[in-house]
Structure 1
């Protein structure tokens, strides 16, 4: 099912429909500020396991998730003054920041080292979904692991629609994946260069 949502002013009744699906364990494709993502409620084991199956992904490689804002991040990650200032300067934006997880994060979404990847994308639809849901949304690229990522919702529906409960159409995106930056031990280290500029790291 494809649901068209205004990318700049998401309609609350449509966001509500998306969130109702997520609360029932639904898995959706949705736009971010980089590429389309696949997601579910982080506290719904059925949804998380379904995403692992859709992606054909090794369960030892946990997914990142989207928070609504910086105050929300503190519930799920250890945020030092250094990490807070760094994230405040760059979020919302095309970055995934890796931090130490708190006990709030389900085991399926933490690494062996108990770290998590957290995003606050600059996308009104993604943020509206997370705010309405009341807690984070799993995020991973809209593709099977190792295969082409689709940024056209009609192509996502064509290739993966039968495996998803809903494709949220927020228009065609042209971005690269997010830039992944570790902030562990108060050191900024680029783990993957993507859409986000990293020249600021040398100024820290």
Structure 2
């Protein structure tokens, strides 16, 4: 299947409120429209995860990131501009997202993806896309397509074809929480 068709199918699935399984700039992920609370709830059910544990979302650009956070601190922009590995920033003042995607303290974990497939998916969808590891909570993270359990494969509405043949190590993103005053804390390295 051509990448354009794969992305079009994934976008159509998300527009209908469905959940996709897709390769990201880190590990394989479960994704949906980050503004659709029912779709976000489906992901929590698939992962068997308490919705008090917030999910991450991906965007394609600085401009798109700014749609989902009231104010981005300068130190966050410096970090985003200098990191070479996928890095998720947790920022205060989340807006325009499904309420069940936003943490109780009003923060959101968000990452600008540069990986070709997930970047084009976010660009063409024109919205933030949920990105959480394609596994049941507590189970090993699926680094490659072959690592994904049958339970997860059966639970999603669309499985992307991109990078299914890949067999190389991948790891989750670094996560850094950045407060409005510029203070930061490394949550995951």
Specify if TM > 0.5: yes
Could you tell me which residue of structure 2 aligns to residue 186 of structure 1? 182
Select the residue among 76, 87, 90 that pairs with 2:80: 87
TM-score (norm 1): 0.83
CA distance in 1, matches of 2:149, 2:183: 40
Correspondence list, 1:45-84, <5 A: 45-77=37-69, 78-84=71-77
The answer as to whether partners of 1:34 and 1:173 remain within 8 angstroms in 2 is: no
Q: 1:34 offset after TM fit, Å? A: 1.6
TM-score (norm 2): 0.89
CA 1:157–1:75: 2 relative to 1, 3 Å: same
CA 1:173–1:187: 2 relative to 1, 3 Å: farther
In structure 2, the gaps of 5 or more residues are: none
Q: 1:124 offset after TM fit, Å? A: 0.7
SS in 1 for 2:108: strand
The answer as to whether partners of 1:27 and 1:51 remain within 8 angstroms in 2 is: yes
The alignment covers a number of residue pairs equal to 184
Root-mean-square deviation over aligned CA pairs = 1.8
Correspondence list, 1:34-183, <5 A: 34-77=26-69, 78-90=71-83, 93-156=85-148, 158-169=150-161, 170=163, 171-183=166-178
SS in 1 for 2:148: helix
CA distance in 1, matches of 2:48, 2:124: 29
In structure 1, the gaps of 5 or more residues are: 6-10, 194-204
Structure 1 segments (4+ residues) deviating >6 Å: none
CA distance in 2, matches of 1:135, 1:22: 10
